[in-house]
Amino acid sequence: MDSRKRIPLAAPNITDRELEAVAEVLRSGTLSLGPKLAEFEERFAGYIGTRHAIGVSSGTAGLHLCVIALGIGAGDRVMTTPFSFIASTNAVVYEQAIPVFVDIDPLTLNLDPARVEEAARKGAKAILAVDIFGLPAEWDGLREIARRFDLSVIEDSCEALGATYKGRAAGSLGQVGVFGFYPNKQVTTGEGGMIVTDDDRIARVCRALRNQGRWEQAGWVEHELLGFNYRLDELSCALGIVQLERLGETQAQRERVARWYHERLRDLEAVELLPTVPGLTRSWFVYVIRLRPPLGQEARDRTMAALREQGVECADYFAPIHLQPVYQRRFGYRRGDFPVTEDIAGRSLALPFFAHMSESQVDEVVRTLKSVLTRSTSRATGA
């Protein structure tokens, strides 16, 4: 048995301040729809620079409400990326709209505007773009297409809190943006999410929909819309307020860990690293590397298995959405439909990455990776 401690893929960064803030809510007796929700929303809107922020129970719930608020429904075509966490596409399918996948740019791993334009010519109602791995999508291009084809625009910024596109905050680049606060995100509330927008109507509808379809000023049993319970409770909000205050600090820590990895991996022949893109700042969410061809999916899978065996957690971020069984069954997608996504996805793996990761943990991951790769590489080349 391995006596060394496993290095986790991700870990929340929680201090005594978060513990105290949550305990204070418990002592207050108000556990939902209280002052912490209003405070978290106000601070969050201030941070992003939008008129409104609406707290919801998860990023997925937030995306779902945006789809409804924009009037996207049965049979509407929504262009989106197959290289994402499945929630971004599920939100479209919940409302019987049709996801129209568009392949990605192999450099940024975000939607390729040229291909989006091609797809828009065949008819579409909306773009749902994702800022993947904390890097904003090509928003100038996407917004221009949206304007020309009169499309609604949702920004899934669940991985990009703190990122900027030409000086503007991720989340504020579409008509409406969504953040998620799952424990591996830059800010966590356990489970939780936030919708941000400058649009008064979208904000009002989302506020009603998260709270069983009641307008804000309506009575408790007066339901205008078919709503949901997608509320964010007071404990989560108290946690989120402190996490948001500490975001600058944890972001700097994450950048430092990314730099440690970069310095140790940049000269390694067998791997490709995430790029920096002029004008865009990535908010570090996950540390994803790719094996370099001719190494492919088989070598990647062997590498992941060997890393895990040696106590280094890792994950295949992301498996293409169109190849998930539920999507293959429903829409008939096949391998080969989105070749750039499939190629990138097959060679990618996420390494352990969290704010308080130590330099010696990074050393340990890199040492293990190098020894594992030496074996994978020699097998792939038949040496």
Ligand X SMILES: *Cc1c(COP(=O)(O)O)cnc(C)c1O
Where do contacts with ligand X occur on this chain (CB under 6 A)? Answer: 58-60, 84-85, 87-88, 130, 156, 158-159, 180, 182, 193
The smaller minimum CB distance to ligand X, of residues 149 and 182, is found at 182
**Catalytic annotation present for 185:** yes
- CB of residue 34 to ligand X, shortest distance in Å: 21
- CB of residue 130 to ligand X, shortest distance in Å: 5
Provide the CA 219 distance to its chain's centre, in angstroms: 35
- CB of residue 319 to ligand X, shortest distance in Å: 13
The smaller minimum CB distance to ligand X, of residues 84 and 175, is found at 84
Q: How would you classify the pairing of strands 176-180 and 193-197?
A: antiparallel
- CB of residue 62 to ligand X, shortest distance in Å: 8
The two tokens of residue 90 are: 């599920």
Residues 227, 325: contact at Cβ < 8 Å?
no
User: What's the 3-state SS for the chain?
Assistant: CCCCCCECCCCCCCCHHHHHHHHHHHHHCCCCCCHHHHHHHHHHHHHHCCCEEEEECCHHHHHHHHHHHCCCCCCCEEEECCCCCCHHHHHHHCCCCEEEECCECCCCCCECHHHHHHHHHCCCCEEEEECHHHCCCCHHHHHHHHHHHCCEEEEECCCCCCCEECCEECCCCCCEEEEECCCCCCCCCCCCEEEEECCHHHHHHHHHHHECCCCCCCCCCCCCCCCCECCCCHHHHHHHHHHHHCHHHHHHHHHHHHHHHHHHHCCCCCEEECCCCCCEECCCCCEEEEECCCCCHHHHHHHHHHHHHCCECCECCCCCHHHCHHHHHHHCCCCCCCHHHHHHHHHEEEECCCCCCCHHHHHHHHHHHHHHHHHHHHHHCCC
Residues 44, 53: contact at Cβ < 8 Å?
yes
Residue owning tokens 């091609």: 118
- CB of residue 175 to ligand X, shortest distance in Å: 17
- The residue annotated as part of the active site, out of 36, 122, 166, 185, is 185
The smaller minimum CB distance to ligand X, of residues 87 and 119, is found at 87
- CB of residue 59 to ligand X, shortest distance in Å: 3
The smaller minimum CB distance to ligand X, of residues 203 and 232, is found at 232
The Cα-based distances of 214 to 59, 210, 211 in angstroms read: 21, 9, 6
The smaller minimum CB distance to ligand X, of residues 243 and 368, is found at 243
The Cα-based distances of 88 to 59, 93, 135, 198 in angstroms read: 9, 10, 16, 21
- CB of residue 303 to ligand X, shortest distance in Å: 23
Nearest residue to the partner ligand X, using Cβ: 59
Write out the H or E segment, with its range, that includes residue 76: none
- CB of residue 231 to ligand X, shortest distance in Å: 14
The smaller minimum CB distance to ligand X, of residues 66 and 271, is found at 66
Q: Which residues are catalytic?
A: 185
